[in-house]
Amino acid sequence: MYALLSHDSACEALRFLSVRSALPAKRLPSVAQKLLGDQCVSTQREYRQLCEKVDLASLGVRTAPTHLLVPSQQMRSSGRSAHFHVWSAELPANSCLQVVDDVLLSGPEFTIMQFAGATARLDGLLDAHAAAIAAEAKMLAGLGLEDHATVDNPLAWEHERRIVAAAVLACEFAGTYRLGMPGESTRYRTSPIMSCDGLEHMAAKAERTTAASRASKAARLAFDGSASPMETALALLFALPVEYGGLGLPRPVLNAPVDVPGYRGVLSDRDQVSPDFFWPEKRVALEYDSGEFHFRGEKAAGTDAVRANILTALGYRVFRATPQTVRSLAAVELLGRQLACALGVVLEIPDEICALRRRRLYAELMPHRREG
């Protein structure tokens, strides 16, 4: 019998093991195949027997319940120790890692697919939608305004929200930071454990499902190379389409090296500089100066300034941002308009629905608001 860790438990294990460079290199299965029901843990009793043999906490799984995959609805069981999710489609090739003899771990790409394919309870979704409209109407009335509350299709927003959430997780796994457990700090300067191209490739090869379709979209929206949650938030706010709530700016590359060896000793003290956000065709860069959610050891405010000065001396237009610069949506929009001017593009003005989605997106993405 083996257990296949999924969803939140897979995220915990991937974060824990990757910061310790302990992720196994071998991927399973070699070809796409169904999850075998007679061989996987699918009851609370089997889960307890597994825990007697394997210390899941040593793999980073510390939050109850433990999330596991089973192949059919009939194999799910209820309990507080283990939560079983149904995955009736084929396991994509190379989607899992064998961490110990009795435990398989969903790989980063497969874990993102699982979250992307999740569905919300319709009753709760509609109740929250109605409550949000009522709250907005009450606020407008309290301000003495006769304007109407903005009404968005809750199912459309939920669909886009899940794609964005999958893109956020993809940025983390394809970047150089890992979120900590509640109460623990984020770990920086780690190695990527996947790429956005790898996620898109797995989604394209997988059985056609909602999960695969959403994961493919998330892969195209996400970024390789993000170094912090704030970089992820800003990159997505800048580049997501307006209908998702983004500003619709051209996509930057994140922390990509720019070779400057010919200027070493004259205008530069190094052979490469790596701006946080870079639009190479337009020779425009943005540096996010370190703050509470951006501390990266040597790559802190002083180094950011040196890098910005080198780029400026070489003829690049370099913008600077700080935690104070992006403390409100209005401030992020102002920064976006400034970048658009430098990039020679005109930002699309959002309609009422897209403006509402932008406010929601900002609240979803910004690290200080999520943690608060």
Can you give the pLDDT at residue 372? Answer: 34
The mean pLDDT of 206-225, rounded to a whole number, is 96
Mean pLDDT in the chain?
87
The CB density around residue 155, as the number of other CB atoms within 10 Å, is 13
Can you give the pLDDT at residue 75? Answer: 84
Task: Give yes or no for a contact between 332 and 323, defined as CB atoms under 8 angstroms apart.
Answer: no
Positive or negative, the CA dihedral 289, 183, 162, 63 is positive
Reduced to 3 states (helix: H, G, I; strand: E, B; else coil), residue 270 is: coil
Sorted by where each starts, the structural domains of the chain and their CATH numbers stand as 3-106 (no CATH), 108-223 (no CATH), 227-351 (3.40.960.10)
Can you give the pLDDT at residue 267? Answer: 75
Can you give the pLDDT at residue 141? Answer: 65
Distances (CA, A) of 37 to 7, 129, 251: 19, 38, 43
Interior/surface letters 71-95, b for 16+ CB within 10 angstroms, e for the rest: beeebeeeeeebbbeebebbbbbbb
Task: Give yes or no for a contact between 369 and 363, defined as CB atoms under 8 angstroms apart.
Answer: yes
On whether the pTM is more than 0.85, the answer is: yes
Distances (CA, A) of 9 to 3, 66, 134: 12, 6, 36
d(CA 228, CA 233): 9
What pLDDT, in 10s, does the model give residues 103-143? 999 999 999 999 998 875 555 645 565 566 566 666 656 66
Can you give the pLDDT at residue 57? Answer: 94
Q: Tokens 């939140």 appear where? A: 8
Positive or negative, the CA dihedral 14, 18, 21, 24 is positive
d(CA 42, CA 250): 46
d(CA 23, CA 93): 18
The angle, 0 to 180 degrees and rounded to 10, between the axes of the packed helices 122-142 and 154-173 is 100
Quick one: pLDDT band at residue 330, thresholds 50, 70, 90?
Answer: very high
Does residue 50 register a pLDDT over 60? yes
Does residue 145 register a pLDDT over 70? no
The mean pLDDT of 259-287, rounded to a whole number, is 85
Can you give the pLDDT at residue 298? Answer: 45
- The strand pairing partners of 285, in sequence order, are 278, 318
Between 261 and 14, the higher pLDDT residue: 14
Can you give the pLDDT at residue 137? Answer: 60
Task: Give yes or no for a contact between 296 and 290, defined as CB atoms under 8 angstroms apart.
Answer: yes
What pLDDT, in 10s, does the model give residues 3-34? 999 999 999 999 999 999 889 888 999 999 99
The mean pLDDT of 44-67, rounded to a whole number, is 94
Alpha-carbon Rg for the chain, nearest whole angstrom, is 22
In sequence order, the 6+-apart residues with CB closer than 8 A to the CB of 75 are: 37, 42, 84, 86
Between 299 and 138, the higher pLDDT residue: 138
Can you give the pLDDT at residue 230? Answer: 94
Tokens of 289: 């100066």
Lowest mean pLDDT among 150-159, 205-214, 302-311, 336-345: 150-159
Nearest to 34 by CA among 106, 78, 87, 101: 87
